Chain A
Amino acid sequence: MIDYEKAVTRAVREIRPSGIRKFFDIAAEMDDVISLSIGEPDFVTPWHIREAGIASLERGMTHYTSNAGLIELRQAICDYMRRRFKLQYEEDELIVTVGGSEAIDIAIRTLVGPGDEVLIPEPSFVCYDPITRMAGGRATPIVTRAEDDFRLTAQQLKAAITPGTKLLILPYPNNPTGAVMRREDLEAIADVLRDTDIFVLSDEIYAELTYGARHVSIASIEGMRERTIVVNGFSKAFAMTGWRLGFLAGPRPLVKAMLKVHQFAIMSSPSTSQYAAVEAMTNGDEDVRAMRTDYNRRRKYILEGVRRLGMPCFEPFGAFYIFPSIKDFGMTSDEFCTKLLREQRLAVVPGNAFGQSGEGHIRISYAYSKENLTEALRRLGAFTEKYGK
């Protein structure tokens, strides 16, 4: 008998399975479930972008591209980053990746070795910690607080830094809280980092989805470009999750090193997606703007609705999530979400899925139609009526 358990490396064995599977299983067995759990746009990729992908197939563009990605795509990305975020990169300081996900993976694997410490503000997206561990690094959470609007503060960062700290993950606009970092917040973070050897992995996958002020990249702050890897992509902004395309940009020597990892893991990102992405980068600004306006309507609607039910909720200015507090219910977020699903057929994500610090909150995605949100608020209302204080 082969012991498959033993065959798996310790690092992989120790990745804790997510407790989330159970919600899927419950939901899958019920009829008429409304799910506000998914972190991807409900929009279909704009037609002209899909058409560009189709056209590339019709022309027979079905080969590998260069490892770093199509040169015309990288040029288009450079223009885009300059235009949208005042970021200056050259084509060879950029890799087109399989989603922001791969960008995060190769950036961490390139920078983090055994014993290196990675600081991860939480609550946040779930991949940074396991990737760090698989690379042999140590993942140290920094718990951000509702009273700080879930921003990372300079004091918290300063207190967390140790001699072994190699990398800071900067996950803003944030999934799951919707928090954003303003220029002054980033200035303060930059002041802490400038005289250290710490690098920054800035996950800006939601950069296009901010409401009110425009997203500011830490790489655009004085002295930070040379120590920052910017991760961005097409999934959220252009409603292109299934195309699996993203990119990273950073200082040339680091990107060169990351290209080695990318080259052996991926060869090159999907060609059809890259051709479609050229169209997104060149002619997609208007689509993004229209989708943002739509998300913003829903954001205001769901935020107001949830607050009207008496649930405290910090106003998020980014991404497409709200992160209300459930502290008045005397339940863990897991209990709350299980009961809500079983009794009201409404599926949302327990805050602790995004780190222990997310306990006491639930994540509601508003990447859903207005009708869905309305019905969800009705069900949530029935639930809070029954269990609220």
Chain B
Amino acid sequence: MDKEKLLKLLEKDGDMTLEEIAEQLGADMRDVAAQIDKYKETGVLLGVHAKVDWEKTKREYVTAMIELKVQPTRGHGFDAIAERLVNYPEIKSLYLMSGGYDIWMLIEGRSLREVAMFVAKKIAPMEGVKSTGTHFVLTKYKDEGITFGGRKADTRRLYSYD
């Protein structure tokens, strides 16, 4: 069984049935089930979640990408500050980066003000944070492999029998 492909399939569509996965892999359904269980036990599979296009709902929200420059601490490098940051539910993603800044995170809030205040009150004053840069998201075109904006209009003929 192509295990990497199994994980990629699940990552792409967590809704697939065992039968469908087995068919795609050309593998036995029981083997697939066993492998998935193993991945759950060992923490390779962390969960399944739905992809929501919030733009299509009434929810008021904004997304921002925040760059941080931080002072690494002796012995812990960047881990100490990252371990504090992960605790905030407002922070949806958090990465340590190479390049012009150290930490990159994605924040969601109800309004520009709420996000700005969160950064100003919680992140900027945090020990070790040297500077922050906030970039608000205007439109989301694609996220984790999924294209937003809905299905394209059906441009096929209206009626035919071929």
B1-44 contacts to A (CB < 8 Å) = 16, 20, 23-24
Contacts of A38 in B (CB 8 A): 156-157, 159-160
Asked if residues A347 and B156 are in contact (CB atoms below 8 Å), the reply is no
Closest chain A residue to B155, Cβ basis: A44
Q: Mark A35-50, 1 if CB is under 8 A from B, else 0.
A: 1011110101000000
CB nearest to A354 among chain B residues: B161
Q: With the chains together, A38 CA to B162 CA distance in Å?
A: 7
A 332-361 binary contact with B (CB < 8 Å = 1; else 0):
000000000000000101000110000000
Contact B20 A297 (CB under 8 A): yes
User: Does A61 belong to the interface (CB within 8 Å)?
Assistant: no
Assembled-state Cα–Cα distance A289/B152 (Å): 22
Q: Verify if B60 is at the interface (C-beta below 8 Å from A).
A: no
Q: Give the interface size bracket for A toward B.
A: 20 to 34
**Residue B151 at the chain A interface, CB threshold 8 Å:** yes
Contact B23–A347 (Cβ < 8 Å): no
Q: Which residue of A lies closest to B152 (CB)?
A: A44
> Taking each of B16, B154, B157, B159, which has the highest tally of chain A beta carbons within 10 Å of its own beta carbon?
B159
Cβ–Cβ contact B151 & A37, under 8 A = no
B158 within 8 A of A: yes
Q: A44-B152, A293-B16, A369-B151 are in contact. Are A35 and B158 (CB under 8 A)?
A: yes
| A293 pairs with B161, CB closer than 8 A | no
Q: Give, as a whole number of angstroms, the nearest-CB distance from B65 to chain A.
A: 26
**Given contacts A44-B152, A289-B24, A293-B24, A126 and B159 within 8 Å (CB-CB):** no
Asked if A85 is an interface residue, CB under 8 A from chain B, the answer is no
For residue A20, CB closer than 8 A to chain B, the reply is yes
Residues in A with CB closer than 8 Å to B159 are: 20, 23-24, 27-28, 35, 37-38, 347
* Bound-complex Cα distance A39 to B161 (A): 7
Asked if A125 is at the interface (CB within 8 A of a chain B CB), the reply is yes
CA distance A224 to B159 in the complex (A): 38
Residues of B within 8 A of A27 (CB): 158-159
Which residue on chain A has the smallest CB distance to residue B16?
A293
1/0 per residue, CB under 8 A from B, across A361-378: the answer is: 001000011000000000
Which of B16, B20, B23, B158 is the one whose CB lies under 8 Å from A24?
B158
Task: Name the CB-closest residue of A to B162.
Answer: A39
Q: A176 — nearest CB in chain B belongs to which residue?
A: B161
Cα A38 to Cα B152 in complex, Å, equals 17
Q: Cβ of B160 and Cβ of A39 under 8 Å apart?
A: yes
Q: List CB contacts (< 8 Å) of A1-53 with chain B.
A: 18, 20, 23-24, 27-28, 33, 35, 37-40, 42, 44
Least Cβ–Cβ distance between A287 and chain B, in angstroms: 12
By a beta-carbon cutoff of 8 Å, the part of chain B in contact with chain A is 16, 20, 23-24, 151-152, 154, 156-162
The contact sample of 28 A-B pairs, CB cut-off 8 A, is A18-B161, A20-B161, A24-B159, A24-B160, A27-B158, A28-B158, A35-B159, A37-B159, A37-B160, A38-B156, A38-B159, A38-B160, A39-B160, A40-B162, A42-B154, A42-B156, A44-B152, A125-B162, A289-B23, A289-B24, A292-B23, A293-B16, A293-B20, A293-B24, A296-B20, A297-B20, A347-B159, A363-B161
